[in-house]
Amino acid sequence: MTGRRHSVTFAIALAALAGAIPATAGASTLISDNWSGYVARTSATVKAFRSVSGAWTVPTATCATGRTAYSAVWVGLGGYRTNATGLEQIGTEADCSSAGAAHYSAWLELLPAASRSIHMAVRPGDEIKASVTVIRRDATLRVADVTTGASYSRTVRLASKDVSSADWIVEAPSTCSTSGSCRTLSLADFGTVTFTSATATAAGVTRPLQSGTWPTTELLLQQSGAGAVTGSRGALERILVSATPSQTFTSLGGFSVTWAQAATQEEAPSGPTLPGFGGGPP
């Protein structure tokens, strides 16, 4: 998953949910370097996804002076396979500057192109609704700030499409140079993101994420924090940063993702960056 890519001088505890429903039996789990949340996948009976939608509350980023960090919340189609060449996504971002200030924005991205900012102001606590629909080679991306009444919609002809998964994700964005070298950025402390709904459409029918209609994957984000520290016993410790999705859902597929960090003597597991960089932008 590259997912959200920045262009600088570059090519750029579980929350209780009302009416909670247990996670779908048989759902798989994957540790990732940059994605947390859930993915619905195609199968022998679900050949392709036509659209995905979700609603969430913009989280408040907790920032520290001297540390830049980033977090993106989005819905999208595709990008789950490590060799994916397409991903259609739209969402919001809560980032931290080195001065310790939080910045919030909205954006869209259609791989293999770089992300594009949306001229729509968002603030922590705003209720966001977003969707992506792909019909043949055309993608329609919509986002609305229910709190302020602002909205945005764009239809684009795709250079490369992927409708093999539906995604509801909190991400540590990546930055890519013009030569194609990419790296995952530090994940900002976003606290908890609550998706109040998560639905997808396949074969003309719209269902919640946990409906059992398609196989799902739970994604756990884990990354080692920058720098090493010395523990109380003199052992070398690192800061393990994680983002973990809840395993219960609302009737509309809603769930939460929670940020955490802890001291550890272990490196973060080597999870995939999806879609895989493969030596350059997908």
**258-280 pLDDT, tens per residue?**
999 988 766 655 677 877 543 23
> What is this structure's pTM?
0.86
**202-212 pLDDT, tens per residue?**
999 999 999 99
Residue with structure tokens 């991306």?
A: 141
Task: Report the pLDDT averaged over residues 155-165.
Answer: 94
Burial class (CB in 10 A: 0-12, 13-18, 19+), 67: middle
**54-91 pLDDT, tens per residue?**
999 999 999 999 999 999 999 999 999 877 889 999 99
The string of DSSP codes covering 192-226 is EEEEEEEEEEETTEEEETTSSSS-EEEEEEEEEEE
What pLDDT shows up at residue 234? 55
**176-215 pLDDT, tens per residue?**
777 767 888 999 999 999 999 999 999 999 999 999 999 9
**Is the pLDDT confidence value at 100 over 70?**
yes
CB 198 within 8 A of CB 253: yes
Task: Report the pLDDT averaged over residues 3-22.
Answer: 34
Binned at pLDDT 50, 70 and 90, residue 230 comes out as low
What pLDDT shows up at residue 85? 80
Nearest alpha-carbon partner for 3 in 121, 106, 114: 114
CATH top-level class of 5-264 = mainly beta
Binned at pLDDT 50, 70 and 90, residue 154 comes out as very high
